[in-house]
Copies of this chain bind each other. A is one copy, B any other.
Amino acid sequence: MRVPKKERQRLLQETIERNPFIKDEELSKQFSVSIQTIRLDRMELKIPEVRERIKHVASEHLDEVKSLSMSEVIGDMIDLKLDDSAISVLDIEKEHVFSRNEIARGHVLFAQANSLAVALINDELALTTKAEIRFSRQVHLGERVVAKARVIKLRGDGRTDVTVESYVGEERVFEGDFTIYRRGEEEQA
């Protein structure tokens, strides 16, 4: 039942990681040591008290909520010639990146490109039906992504081909070929 200190601390760390809500009392029972020992262990491992841990989990959550509402993900349109070309700029911020490595999530770049492609269409209804995309280099927190969209072909059947290339400085980070449906009300954007 009783394990040596090192082992206990390893397990303690794991246990708390898996369940940040656990109190010192619980832990002391689980490891059959006194509550003070648990507290010494936490100190050495620099693990904060349960209320702080809970607060941390909660505030991470709040970040997530932000990334769900994608309304602001789209970037600023700085140029638009309908049915021809458009440019938008997006500054990569915290809510756009994986917290672990500060690399922008794929759907953020996609969202910028997709909404730019859709905005380009001079019609009441415009929905993406198909896309082929490539991510050519990762984009980091703080970088500015410039997306350039251009109409390639206006088909007779209500479909329009749009290509989007996104850059950070001189480097291309994303390209996508989109097929946009307009007007007909039976496709998906």
Contact = CB atoms under 8 A, between A and B. Distances in A.
Contacts of A173: 188
A123 to B, nearest CB: 12
Contacts of A58: 20-21, 54-55, 57-58, 61
A128 B106 contact: yes
Contacts of A68: 74, 95, 100
A67 interface: yes
A40 to B, nearest CB: 25
B135 A189 contact: yes
Given A60-B71, A61-B64, A64-B61, A127 B107 contact: no
Contact of A110 (B21, B107, B138): B107
A116 to B, nearest CB: 11
Contacts of A107: 70, 73-74, 107, 110-111, 114-115
Given A51-B51, A72-B105, A73-B107, 15 more contacts: A21-B55, A57-B58, A57-B61, A70-B95, A70-B111, A107-B110, A107-B111, A107-B115, A110-B111, A127-B135, A131-B132, A135-B189, A137-B186, A138-B185, A138-B188
Interface of A: 20-21, 51, 54-55, 57-62, 64, 67-74, 95-96, 98, 100-101, 103-111, 114-115, 118, 124-125, 127-139, 173-174, 185-189
27 contacts: A20-B58, A20-B62, A55-B58, A57-B58, A57-B62, A61-B61, A70-B108, A72-B98, A103-B127, A105-B111, A105-B118, A105-B189, A106-B118, A106-B127, A106-B128, A106-B131, A107-B107, A110-B110, A110-B114, A127-B135, A129-B135, A130-B133, A130-B135, A132-B132, A137-B188, A138-B185, A138-B189
